[in-house]
Structure 1
Amino acid sequence: MDMIIEYKINAPVTTEQFLRVLETSTLGERRPVHDRARIEGMITNSNLVVTAWAGDELVGIARSMTDFYYACYLSDLAVSRDYQAVGIGKELQVLTKKQLQPGCKIILIAAPSASTYYEYLGYKSNPRCWVLEP
């Protein structure tokens, strides 16, 4: 696939664009895509959003919450199925890291099927993660 992908930092993303990339990636299966208010809150209140665009179509997103100095929680990493396996997800993470100060950690909760992907990129597994469900 011959494509030109443009990456942007904190570019405006509409709720509809965010929903579309979630639904066209595997991440939509684990996000509240039927709760528009939650999806809108998720995109509106993120303080670091790195996006990948094919023309005016959002095809990838790395959505994070961070203090930029100590910890960055990479909450969503999604790439539309038609654009997967060409390095977009990796580039979104590289660009996320470049926005952070030296020494700032990126923390994420991986989908079970993505564990080997993150290990390949240099992430270390941490058994001390705890989640308090609502």
Structure 2
Amino acid sequence: MTIQYCFDTGITAEKLSEVFQSSGIRRPADDLPRLQKMIDHADLIAEAWKEDELIGVARVVTDFSYCAYISDLAVKKEMQGLGIGAALLERVKGTLGDEVTLVLLSAPNAMDFYPKQGYEKADNAFRIMRKK
């Protein structure tokens, strides 16, 4: 099985929805206009493809200089455990370089995944949750 990794190919809201629905990540997968906004306003989208099927995505908001927020990391359920998520994170890190701090919020069931990728747990974060 060959996985192709690339950036910003112009994925559709429909393809992103498929990845979100399959992965188990909690996102508004049935709200295609909102997903399209999420695509349009991301600064960097790392993608994993198996032939013409989008199987994984890392969506990033960044200034490309100081900080980057990895707002989504999702891999289709049947492709999880094959190193695709780790490869997407590594490509994001490689593209942004060592001067950029990477920040993310983890889903509770992924808390053990990120330390294995070199991420440190931070206890100094704050948030105001969205209403919808």
Structure 2 SS opposite 1:8: strand
Listed one character per residue, the Cα deviations across residues 78-126 of structure 1 (whole Å, up to 9, x for unaligned) are 0001111010000000000111132211100000111111011111111
Structure 2 SS opposite 1:89: helix
Query: What residue is the counterpart of 2:10 in the other structure?
Result: 12
In the alignment, residue 122 of structure 1 is paired with which amino acid? G
Query: What residue is the counterpart of 1:68 in the other structure?
Result: 64
- State the distance in 1 between where 2:50 and 2:97 align: 29
TM-score by length of 1: 0.93
- State the distance in 1 between where 2:76 and 2:114 align: 18
- 1:112 and 2:108 matched: yes
Structure 1 SS opposite 2:127: coil
Listed one character per residue, the Cα deviations across residues 26-74 of structure 1 (whole Å, up to 9, x for unaligned) are 11xx111232221111111111000000001000000000111111100
Contact 2:49 2:56 in 1 (8 A): yes
- State the distance in 2 between where 1:97 and 1:127 align: 22
Contact 1:21 1:60 in 2 (8 A): yes
Any gaps of 5 or more consecutive residues in structure 1? none
TM-score by length of 2: 0.94
* Structure 1 position 11, deviation (Å): 1.2
Instruction: State how 1:1-134 maps to structure 2 within 5 Å.
Output: 3-27=1-25, 30-134=26-130
In the alignment, residue 57 of structure 1 is paired with which amino acid? E
Runs of 4+ in structure 1 over 4 Å off? none
